[in-house]
Amino acid sequence: MANPSFEYILPVIRGIQAGREYYVSMCPVRFLPKLLPLESEELPPQLRGKRALNKSRIPEIVDYFIKNSTRYTCGAIAASIDADIKFEALGNEAEERRIGRLRVPMDAKFTINDGQHRRAAFEIALQENPQLGYETVALILFLDIGLENSQQKFADLNSFQVPLEESLRILYNHRDDRAFVVKSVVKQVEVFR
């Protein structure tokens, strides 16, 4: 009798993009380091699925998660799965066919296409505030076999991002003391109104 393979079973919603299935799952933060390991820093760029981790960005994100633990916002983390996966629909009716379980072998290779700095920051933030581990972050999971597909997914996801204009960052930020000062000055000085 063959040994059953061990697997992750993720609750997911199935979608279609570019004619291919992809999945969205709400993942407990404490599970991120196990499910999504970071790539080795020794790998040359042509052997990576994405750019190298910029460690200098991580403390600022950790600080944001810790200081705003009851009101932070974290976008989805996108990852490619390089493995044979199986989707089991909840049922046969319309919506039931899109909701179900994704069975992923435990030896599957996950490559983060977008969100590696948030994922790394959560790992550190969990050491300071283990309660964050019970919260969830959206995972967008693509089936992409091979390094070239993961690299293309990374390029596609990062090709059209536009940095937020500083004026909008200040206007919309209600936590930053400097933004508060700038907005107060603008309200009080006639020339800026």
Does residue 97 carry a pLDDT above 70?
yes
Q: 185 pLDDT exceeds 70? A: yes
φ and ψ at 7, to 5 degrees? -150, 160
pLDDT score of 110 more than 50: yes
Higher-confidence residue: 30 or 176? 30
Q: What is the pLDDT of residue 1?
A: 42
C-alpha 175/C-alpha 99 separation (Å) is 37
Q: Tell me: the pLDDT tens digits for 59-92?
A: 999 999 999 999 999 999 999 898 999 999 999 9
- Reported as a single tens digit per residue, the pLDDT across 1-43 is 445 579 999 999 999 998 999 999 999 999 999 999 887 655 5
Q: Which helix (H) or strand (E) holds 101?
A: strand 99-105
> What is the b/e burial string over 57-86, where b = at least 16 CB atoms within 10 angstroms of the residue's CB?
ebeebbebbeeeeeeeebebbbbbbbeebe
Please say if the pLDDT value at position 180 is more than 60. yes
> What is the chain's mean pLDDT, rounded?
84
Residue 184 has pLDDT above 90, yes or no: no
Stretch 135-145: mean pLDDT = 91
Helices 58-67 and 116-128: angle between axes, nearest 10 degrees: 50
- As to burial, measured by CB atoms within 10 angstroms (0-12 exposed, 13-18 middle, 19+ buried), residue 142 is buried
Task: Give me the pLDDT at residue 160, please.
Answer: 66
Kindly report which listed range (16-25, 45-54, 140-149, 167-176) carries the lowest average pLDDT score.
45-54
Average pLDDT over residues 148-173: 66
Find the range with the poorest average confidence among 106-110, 127-131, 147-151, 187-191. 147-151
